Amino acid sequence: MKTLCLRSAAVLLSLLLPTIASATDWFVRSLSNGYGSGNGSNYNDAWNGFSSINWGSIQAGDTLYVCGPHDAGYLGDKNIIVPPGKSGTEMAPITIDGNCPGDSGVINSSLIRIFFDPADLN
């Protein structure tokens, strides 16, 4: 019985570890003239506003850090569209976190609308 439990635990860990180990942090900053390479891989190379996010890069278990203020009043980043299927999995959700290290994120929700289905735009 003890051997069966240990084997079950080993199988479970082997399934979970690749998901946990491959989690990536991504960064999006306020619209401006751009940030470094703009590939979202770190704070200095963050995506330039929500419309620049490469959702194809974000996978289950990843975290998207929202850094700095996001206000559509003068910058034009009015609609944030999260593509269907970009929620991760039950064991490894995609996290959108405003607690960006050193530059807490703020979304002015009275000016910016977030959609999880592009059909809702109509």
Q: How many folded domains does the chain comprise?
A: 1
Residue 11 lies in a domain: no
Residue 14 lies in a domain: no
Q: 102 is in which domain, residue-wise?
A: 23-121
pTM of the predicted structure, to 2 decimals: 0.71
Residue 10 lies in a domain: no
Residue 88 lies in a domain: yes
Exposed/middle/buried for residue 50 (C-beta within 10 Å: 0-12, 13-18, 19+): buried
Give yes or no for residue 99 having a pLDDT over 80: yes
CB 83 within 8 Å of CB 43: no
Q: Give CA angle at 24 (15, 72), nearest 5°.
A: 135
Residue 7 lies in a domain: no
Residue 79 has a pLDDT of: 64
Nearest to 80 by CA among 39, 53, 115: 115
Give yes or no for residue 2 having a pLDDT over 90: no
Residue 116 lies in a domain: yes
Residue 58 lies in a domain: yes
Residue 115 lies in a domain: yes
Neighbouring C-beta atoms of residue 1, cutoff 10 Å: 5
Give yes or no for residue 58 having a pLDDT over 80: yes
What are the pLDDT digits (tens) for 6-43?
444 444 444 454 445 579 999 999 888 889 999 999 99
Q: What is the mean pLDDT of residues 88-100?
A: 89
